[in-house]
Amino acid sequence: MTLPDSIRVFERGWLSANNILLVGPDDTALVDSGYVTHAQQTVDLVRHALHGRHLDRLYTTHLHSDHCGGNAALQAHYGCATFVPAAEEDKVRRWDEDALTFKATGQQCPRFTIAGTVAPGEVLTLGGTAWHVLGAPGHHAHSLIWYSPEHKVLISADALWHNGFGVIFPELEGDAGFAEAGATLDLIAGLDVQLVIPGHGAVFDDVDAALQRARRRLDFLSSKPANNAEYGVKVLLKFLLLERQKIAVADIAPLLASLPVVAESNRRYLHKSDEELAAWTIKQLIRGLAARIDGDYLVNA
C-alpha cells in the first residue's frame, strides 16, 4: 500500500520530526514543522513541494521543540494559520517556556502565534481527506494523533514508531504516563490502520509487529521507573549533542544539572551525583556508538 498523492511525507533526520504535507484542490496544510535549526530547510521543502501554492494551515501534534520549532519560520514565510492541541492553548498564548518544557529540556523553539486549537474528537477535512483527531497521552500528556479511515493512514507522532515510541516524559517528573501510553497503543490497535506515518523514521505498514515491539518496550520501561529515567537522560544529552555537535566533557555535569527535567528525574529515580550522572551518560552514549571522546570533548557520532 502506498500513500495517496494528497499526502506527502518529508522524512527528516534528527533533530527534526517528520513533516506531513496535505494537499487538496482547495487547501494545503502541514502537520509538524521540525526543529528550529532545520527551519529554513523545512520552509524550502514545503515551498518546493507546493510549486507556488500557499500553505494555508499548520498543525502541531504536540508541543515538543522537534515538532514545532519551524512554526515561526513557516508563519513568517506564509502567514499560515497555526493550530495546537487545545490543552496547550494558554501556555502558547502566554508563551510560558517553563510550562511548555523548552527550558526544562534545554531546547529551543522561537515564539509563534496561534489562530486556534484542535481537540480530541474533532474531524478535520484537509487535503481532501477527513482526519479524525485522537488523544494520545503517554510520551506527552496532550499529544494528538490523526487517523484517516478513508486511506487507513495514521499520523502517529511519537506515540508509535517502527521500533518503540518517544520517551515517556511525564514519568520523568513523577506524573502518570506508562498506563496512558499503554492505552494509546490499545487505541491504535483498535483502528484499521495499514500505514503509519511516525514522528521519526520511515512510513511503515507492519503495524501489528510495531505494536508488539512497542508493548515490549513499554513493559521494560514501566517495570522499573529508573529504566525510563535512564533512557530519558541519554536521549536529552544526545539531542543537545546533535544540536551542538560537541560539548566539553567538563561542561556535561553542570549542563545536565541545569535541565529541570533531568534534575528531577535524577532526584526521583537515579540518585546519582551530578558527576556520576554525567560520567554514566557519557559512557552509555559511547557504548551505543552515539558519541565519542575527542580530547576534552564529547563529539557526536
Confidence class for position 103, pLDDT limits 50, 70, 90 = confident
Cα–Cα distance measured from residue 256 to residue 236, given in angstroms and rounded to the nearest whole number = 9
pLDDT in tens, 162-218: 999 999 999 999 999 999 999 999 999 999 999 999 999 999 999 999 999 999 999
The radius of gyration of the chain's CA atoms, rounded to the nearest angstrom, is 19
Q: Are β-strands 195-198 and 153-157 bridged in parallel, bridged antiparallel, or unpaired?
A: parallel
Residue among 6, 1, 2, 5 nearest 125 (CA): 6
Where are the domains positioned within the chain?
A: 7-223, 232-300
Burial per residue of 169-187, b for 16 or more beta-carbon CB atoms within 10 angstroms, e otherwise: bbbbbeeebbebbbebbee
Q: What confidence tens digit (pLDDT) does each residue in 139-156 have?
A: 999 999 999 999 999 999
For 108-131, the pLDDT digits (tens) are: 999 999 999 999 999 999 999 999
Joined grid coordinates for residue 288: 551505543
Summary count for the chain: helices (H), strands (E): 12, 14
Around Cβ 290, how many Cβ atoms within 10 Å?
16
Task: Express each pLDDT in 33-79 by its tens digit.
Answer: 999 999 999 999 999 999 999 999 999 999 999 999 999 999 999 99
State the DSSP code for 70: T
| Among candidate residues 139, 105, 141, the one with its CA nearest the CA of residue 242 | 105
Q: Which residue has the cell 515491539?
A: 213
Residue 271 zone, left/alpha/beta (φ > 0; ψ -120 to 50; rest)? left
Per-residue pLDDT, 270: 97
Asked whether residue 292 carries a pLDDT value surpassing 90, the answer given is: yes
pTM, to two decimals:
0.96
- Residue pair 180/141 in contact by the 8 Å Cβ criterion: yes
pLDDT in tens, 155-172: 999 999 999 999 999 999
- Per CATH, is 7-223 categorized as 1.10.3720.10? no
